[in-house]
Structure 1
């Protein structure tokens, strides 16, 4: 059995468990941030679940790196997986990847390419926005001179940042909050570009089809 086939089998078997780990990571992290008044035992349990989810992704990355036999080239070719491993808040994006894999495996009717791109971009923005709002709220809520003291403020700031509007009424003041802000800015620009490009391509195709259906000389 070749390394490629072994790696493919491993990825197929771990898709669903890693998707559950993504949900578990985000849920446990959200509880720790949004419910700071929980008993210490529950806080420790949420932290343990968060670390366990991270460990699952680390093991998956190590196994796929070993099966690939590519060494450093694996890191370059799978830069997104490397980034997801280093930045835990990006891990919920695996849910989007797994959903697409399940649709292909079941051979169910799927949306057109342009609609799928827009739908996946929207789902990615929702997951990134939720994770980013949690991280900013955790970093900013007790910081001196903060303008984001509540989670509602964090959600509002995240929406304006991801949509590239940037009203400027709220802004992070901590180093971690600003790092998250930079990441959300780049993600917002990328997602907006994907959606705009896909929608423009769809509109052009529609007009092209209408022109092709018209009789010559009309």
Structure 2
């Protein structure tokens, strides 16, 4: 039976608009970081819009807390992803799993298999995390003394190295903020890589087991 609680209805109504708002927030942040030649008033407008969207995310978080009926600390610890994305709104696009569930409930179409969902989620999450991580670390490293990350292309290359856990070491963050971002991306890279590897291995085992069951018993 579908969940018809107030919290579920709120999520059903707001998940898609908030996901779109998170993409707009990411685009505004990218503009603020990369478009260095923008007039000051345009940059101020971008910042104002970003703060307004962040306020929307905060209101959504508080509404979810009130509808949950939990104490605030209990809600924070049991809704970790919600808590993280309200502090770091650049990560909000990673909430594509609830978005997928909302879309499927509205369309009533058959869902993808578990393995397909895991692989699709991790692939999209890796792209989004790599892009936002490159933006965030480039903002920290740009112009820093001794920085090896001189262009956004360098930041993207560094993000790919970090998320894939390769780490050539040709480009490394030198600022405290850049290194903090690097720690988070290393942890996320290990988690995403483990999810893909585990899901793919489970899928292969399922295929081989199914093929083995179809073979006639040996004489």
TM-score by length of 2: 0.94
Cα distance per residue 1:70-97 (max 9 Å; x no partner): 1122112101111111222211212453
* RMSD between aligned residues: 1.4
> What's 2:15 paired with?
15
Unaligned runs of 5+ in 2: none
1:190 aligns to 2:191 (yes or no)? yes
> What's 1:166 paired with?
167
C-alpha change, 1:24 and 1:96, in structure 2 (3 Å) is farther
> What's 2:124 paired with?
123
* Equivalent residues, number: 215
Rounded to whole Å, the distance in 1 between the matches of 2:86 and 2:40 is: 27
> What's 2:64 paired with?
64
> What's 1:209 paired with?
210
- Checking the alignment, whether the CA contact within 8 Å between 1:163 and 1:188 is kept in structure 2 is yes
Query: Shift in Å at residue 103 of structure 1?
Result: 2.8
Unaligned runs of 5+ in 1: none
Name the SS of the counterpart of 1:203 in structure 2: helix
Name the SS of the counterpart of 1:144 in structure 2: coil
> What's 1:38 paired with?
38
Query: Shift in Å at residue 10 of structure 1?
Result: 1.3
Rounded to whole Å, the distance in 2 between the matches of 1:89 and 1:51 is: 12
- Checking the alignment, whether the CA contact within 8 Å between 1:24 and 1:49 is kept in structure 2 is no
Runs of 4+ in 1 over 6 A off after TM superposition: none
Which residues in structure 2 correspond to 1:74-89 (within 5 Å)?
A: 74-89=75-90
Query: Shift in Å at residue 110 of structure 1?
Result: 3.6
Query: Shift in Å at residue 211 of structure 1?
Result: 0.8
- Checking the alignment, whether the CA contact within 8 Å between 1:133 and 1:155 is kept in structure 2 is yes
TM-score by length of 1: 0.94
Rounded to whole Å, the distance in 1 between the matches of 2:140 and 2:74 is: 35
Moved more, 190-199 or 104-113: 104-113
C-alpha change, 1:96 and 1:44, in structure 2 (3 Å) is farther
Name the SS of the counterpart of 1:177 in structure 2: helix
- Checking the alignment, whether the CA contact within 8 Å between 1:89 and 1:131 is kept in structure 2 is yes
